[in-house]
Amino acid sequence: MNNQLRKTNKCVIWTRVSTAKQEKDGGSLEYQKKLCLNYAKEHKLNVVWRDSEQESPFGGTHESAKQIGKLCREMINLVKKDTSISKIICSQFDRLSRDRGDAIKLMDSLRAIGVTIVEAISGTDTSDSTAALLACFKFSTATLDNEIRADKFYNGRKHCYESGAYTGVLPLGYTRKDPKTGVKTKSLNSYCYLDDKGQKIRFAFAWKLQGYTNGEILDKLSRMGLTITKQTLNHIFNNPFYAGKIQSKMLDNGMVDGKIEKAVSYMDWLKIQKIMSDRAGWYKHKKHVEDAPLKGDILCAECGKPLTAYRQKGHWYYKCNTIGCKFNMSAVKLHAKYQNVLQGLEIPRELCALYEEMIGKVIKEGNEEKVRQTTLLKKERTEIEKKISACTARYATGEISKDIYSSAITAFETRIREIEADLEECGEILSNYQKRVNDILLMCSNTSTWWDDADYETRKRIQKLAFPNGILYDRQKCNYRTENRNGVFDVIDRISASYRHKKEAPSEEDASSCAG
């Protein structure tokens, strides 16, 4: 259907950074613009700027929304009206939108009006339908890679938490020190100690147990030189950190013993929770339901509510609790059917080699981006370290007060911790190239077997990747409905179908497989 394509030499450039942090670095946006501009020059295209005096491209600022935002719509409206523009150039396809569904829809709709999207970094464009499919695939793979990675990274963090190391920002009254030397440190092996304020907070807990009201406690604290608000005091009393516990969403709201000096014993802390709420129990540890890993993920097609699970005579069952639904079914049966669904999502074996190559390419390009990011982050870290030395020197010579010094240092240290977490993530990404290709391929080609062998966590992960919004079970049809599946599988289907179609009828032009 290439006859509909606009054939002019005018184009627009689209750039986007996904976080305010990247925007601050600046380099990223400039770099994107440069890549796109080089492409335009090489292909003798005239660029239509958003602001021609400044030569500013479309997008260009921080668009945090997952959806295609206002700035992108502004550009699309222009290319719809101005038929002399034939191309949109972006540095990489994933700059169009972070949301896969949106980006693919956008590619399809632009193709329909004859506009081509070009990826400057690789030269791929959407001018014919096979290339458009490849673009969709690249986008999907990049997103899937992110999802799998985010999960892994998260698991790494979780491990940290489980071992009692606390990596987040410390609550009021704590400072991190090396337990051997007593020197302040940001290392993960450090221990959290109560500082001067923390010692006063210790009194607050004791007073609370003795029956003082919060107002009286605030009064007493302020006479000791610690002035805080009512809300802060409430947060302190509610926070199990002061009882030496780390609580985190990452731990499914469970708690572990942290490397923390306690301001109150855990038993006393529990008593305070009772005093405060009269309703004990919210802090209970949640337990995994090991043999019903789909609990909460299967949705009843009748009422849309997630199924719960229960155990009877050693067997597990899923159940819809809605009055009127009264649906329950054995876990064994529901799991077998679920495995069939996963099998249906797998990449056909004969296409594995093709996909492996495609996935490899996508990830390699992503790596180049990460190398650039790493350089920027290291540069920023060095600058902050310089600032810390400068600040320390000024404090030593009495140029600045202790208060100013401490607050500046805290801010610097927080930023350095963030940078180090990002660097750690980048490093992990770069070192695991082949493993990531394998992971994605495995995820897409062997899902059902993988699921069968997997532990609870992995099963949850697979479910989250395959059906991020839950999977519907239709009791009338006695089977699952798969319309909620991850968009990556739609793209894989389209590519597989197009590939088979070509193989069967090599002479025929592949027509409209990317529409809709």
Q: Return residues touching Zn ion (CB under 5 A).
A: 300, 302-303, 320, 322, 325
Contact 110, 117 (CB under 8 A): yes
The DSSP code sequence of 279-313 is -TTTTPPP---TT-TTTTTEEETTT-PBPEEEEET
CB of 459 vs Zn ion, minimal distance in Å? 23
Task: List C-alpha distances in Å: 190 to 175, 193, 372, 418, 482.
Answer: 10, 9, 31, 17, 48
Task: List C-alpha distances in Å: 314 to 27, 330, 453, 455.
Answer: 60, 11, 21, 19
Nearer to Zn ion by Cβ, of 329 and 441: the residue is: 329
Say how far apart CA 507 and CA 511 lie, in whole Å.
12
Nearer to Zn ion by Cβ, of 305 and 379: the residue is: 305
CB of 292 vs Zn ion, minimal distance in Å? 17
Say how far apart CA 66 and CA 144 lie, in whole Å.
15
Nearer to Zn ion by Cβ, of 297 and 369: the residue is: 297
CB of 304 vs Zn ion, minimal distance in Å? 7
CB of 93 vs Zn ion, minimal distance in Å? 40
Nearer to Zn ion by Cβ, of 320 and 377: the residue is: 320
Per-residue DSSP letter, 127: S
CB of 319 vs Zn ion, minimal distance in Å? 9
Nearer to Zn ion by Cβ, of 226 and 320: the residue is: 320
Say how far apart CA 370 and CA 423 lie, in whole Å.
10
CB of 334 vs Zn ion, minimal distance in Å? 14
- Strand 255-257 versus strand 85-90 pairing type: unpaired
CB of 325 vs Zn ion, minimal distance in Å? 3
Nearer to Zn ion by Cβ, of 112 and 303: the residue is: 303
Instruction: Give the closest residue to 295 by CA, choosing from 308, 305, 313, 276.
Output: 308
Nearer to Zn ion by Cβ, of 211 and 324: the residue is: 324
Per-residue DSSP letter, 7: -
